[in-house]
Amino acid sequence: MKPPPFEYHAPESLDEAVALLAAHGDECRPLAGGQSLVPLLNFRLARPAHLVDLNWADGFPGIEAGPSGLSIGAMVRQRRAERSPEVQAGCPLLVDALSLIGHPAIRNRGTVGGSIAHADPAAELPAVALALDAELVARGPQGERTVGAGDFFVGHYSTALQPDECLVRVDLPPWPPGAGWSIQETARRHGDFAIAAAAAVVELDGAGTVARARVALAGVADRPVRATAAEEVLAGAVAGPEAIGAAAEQAAVGIDPPSDLHGSAAYRRHVVQVLVRRALESAAHRAEVPA
Amino acid sequence: MSEPTMRVRFSVNGAAREVTVEARKTLADVIREDLGLTGTHVGCEHGVCGACTVLVDGDPVRSCLMLGVQAGGSDIVTVEGVAGDGVMHPVQQAFWDSHSFQCGFCTPGFVITAYALLRDKPELTEADVRAELSGNLCRCTGYQSIVNGVLAAAERLQDAGKE
C-alpha cells in the first residue's frame, strides 16, 4: 500500500471534526477532496498519525448568493462550483480559475475550501481569493472566526488556520457591476500547477477610466501576492496599452520569484509581465462603463 | 501487530459488495485486490495519468486519490461494468473500430471518462472531447484515434436514439 498507516476518523458533523482536530493537533490532517493530500500520502511526503475525513460531516454550507455577496462552503466540489449558476453570475473569475485546476475528474472530488486551505503557492484559488478580498471563515473549538485573504496565506502550504481549526466557507464580496476579469497562467501542461499565474479584475468609472484594478499573482513567492504597484499604475488611467504595459512592468519588478526546475527567476519574471499584460487586456476588454 | 481494518459496503457494477480493508488502502487497490476487478489500471498513483478512473456515484474520479473506505455506501462503476450482457458498449465498440488503443493500459480510464461524457452530453464537439479527456494520458496513440473513437461513439449513440 502506498500511503503510510494512519488512524482514520469519519466524523458525522463539523463539530465532531473540529473536536477531533483539537484532540490530535499537529498529528492530524483534515481530508477534504484529497486531490492534493492523497498524492502526498501516496508519496509518503505527508505522514499524519490521524486523518479526519470531512466528507462525511454535516454542517458545511453549500453555495449561497445574496446581497452581501457569494458564499461557498469549503466542501463544495470544484466541479459543482464551476457549474453553479450562482457562481457563474456572482464570480466569473472563480469559474475561469476553477477550469484551470487539474482535470474534470480531479475537480469532481477536489473542493473549493481544500484548495484554499492547502495553500499551494502556485495554485489558482488562493490567488483568486486574494484578488477578490475573500473572507475565509474557520471553525475551531472556540467557535467561528473570519480571516481576510490578505492575512490567511502565510507561507508555503501554510495558512492562518490553527491545527484545531477547519475552514468552513469562503465569502466573496458582491461582484462589482460591470467589472472585467481574467486569469492567465503558464503551466508545463494543461492542468498542472502554474509556473506563474495572474488574476485581474478591472472596474471602470463613468468616464471609462479605471476606478479600481486588482491583480494577484501565483507561483512567484511562498504565497499568493497582490501586485499593488501594478494596481496603482492603473487607478485613474485609461486602460489602454500604455497603462497596461506600465502596470505589467511594475508587476514584474515587484516580485522576487523562485528558481526551480520548471523555470528560473528571470523566466518567471518575464512570464509574469506577459501574463499580467494579457490578464489586464482581457479584463479591461470585458469591463463595462457603469450606466 | 496487524493493522486495524474497516468493513466497507458499496455497490460495484450494480452488485452489492462488502470488503474488509485497511483505511489507508486506495480505492484503486481495493477494486483490484479485494474486489478482483483488474480492469481498473494503476499507473502513476498520484492523480496524473487517469488510468484508474472509475465512476463514483456517477462522477468520473481518480480511484488512486480516494481511500476505499471513503467509497462506503457509494455506487461504483468500473470498466467491467460498462458492457451489457456480453455485448460491448458503443463506446467500447467504437474504440475497437477506431483503433483507439494500442497497448491498452490507459484504455479503461478513457472508456470510463468517455462513457460519462457521452451520458452527460450526447451532442458534443471535438473540443468537448479533448477538454473532457485531457486528464487521461496515453503514451501510444497520439490521442487522435481516441478522439475519433469517442466522436464515432457519439454519432452511433445519436443514431441509435433516433431509431
Q: Comparing C-alpha atoms, which of A58, A91, A92, A51 is closest to residue A73?
A: A58
DSSP letter (8 states) at residue A259: -
Q: Residue A32: inside a domain, yes or no?
A: yes
Determine whether the interchain pair B24/A35 forms a contact, defined as Cβ–Cβ distance below 8 Å.
no
Which of A4, A10, A42 comes nearest B46 by C-beta? A42
Number of domains in chain B: 2
Q: Do A191 and B50 touch (CB under 8 A)?
A: no
* pLDDT tens by residue, chain A, 291 residues: 789 999 999 999 999 999 999 999 899 999 999 999 999 999 999 999 999 999 999 999 999 999 999 999 999 999 999 999 999 999 999 999 999 999 999 999 999 999 999 999 999 999 999 999 999 999 999 999 999 999 999 999 999 999 999 999 999 999 999 999 999 999 988 778 899 999 999 999 989 899 999 999 999 999 999 999 999 999 999 999 999 999 999 999 989 999 998 899 999 999 999 999 999 999 999 999 987
CA pair distance A103, B130, nearest whole angstrom: 11
Cα–Cα separations (whole angstroms), residue B30 to A109, A137, B53: 18, 36, 13
Which of B3, B23, B135 is opposite residue A191, by nearest beta carbon?
Answer: B135
Chain A positions in Cβ-Cβ contact with residue B114 (cut-off 8 Å): none
Whether A240 and A246 have beta carbons less than 8 Å apart is answered as no
Q: Which domain holds residue A93?
A: 63-172
* pLDDT exceeds cutoff 70 at B1: no
Of A1, A7, A38, the CB nearest to B65: A38
Pair (A203, A167) in one structural domain: no
| Chain B touched by A190 (CB under 8 Å) | yes
CA distance B82 to B108: 10
My answer on whether A189 and A236 are in the same domain is: yes
Domain harbouring B151, CATH code:
1.10.150.120
Do A149 and A229 lie in one domain? The reply is no
Residue A241 to residues A277, A281, B85: CA-CA distances in angstroms? 9, 8, 63
Residue B96: the pLDDT is: 97
Specify if A58 maps to a domain: no
In a domain, A108, yes or no: yes
Alpha-carbon span B144 to B43, nearest angstrom: 21
Q: How many CB atoms lie within 10 A of CB A69?
A: 17
- Strands A210-218, A225-226: pairing kind: antiparallel
The pLDDT of residue A162 is: 96
Domain annotation covers residue A2: no
Handedness of CA A46, A223, A15, A143 (dihedral sign): positive
Give domain status of residue A291, yes or no. Answer: no
Residues A144 and A186 in one domain: no
The pTM of this model reads 0.95
In a domain, A186, yes or no: yes
* Beta strand spans in chain B (E): 5-12, 15-22, 53-56, 59-62, 75-77
**Residue B132 and residue A104: Cβ atoms within 8 Å?**
yes
Q: Min CA distance, B66 vs chain A (Å)?
A: 7
Out of A132, A148, A172, a domain closes at A172
Domain limits for position B141? 90-162
Q: Look-up: residue for cell 474497516?
A: B6
* Nearest chain B residue to A49, by CA: B24
Q: What is the pLDDT of residues B43-52, one digit of tens each?
A: 999 999 999 9
Residue B100 has a pLDDT of: 97
Q: What is the CATH number of the domain that holds A267?
A: 3.30.390.50
Which residues on neighbouring strands pair with residue B62, listed in sequence order?
Answer: B53
Q: CB distance B50–A103 less than 8 Å?
A: yes
Residues 113-132 of B with CB under 8 A from A: 113, 131-132
Q: Are residue B60 and residue B103 in the same domain, yes or no?
A: no
Q: How many CB pairs under 8 A join A and B?
A: 88
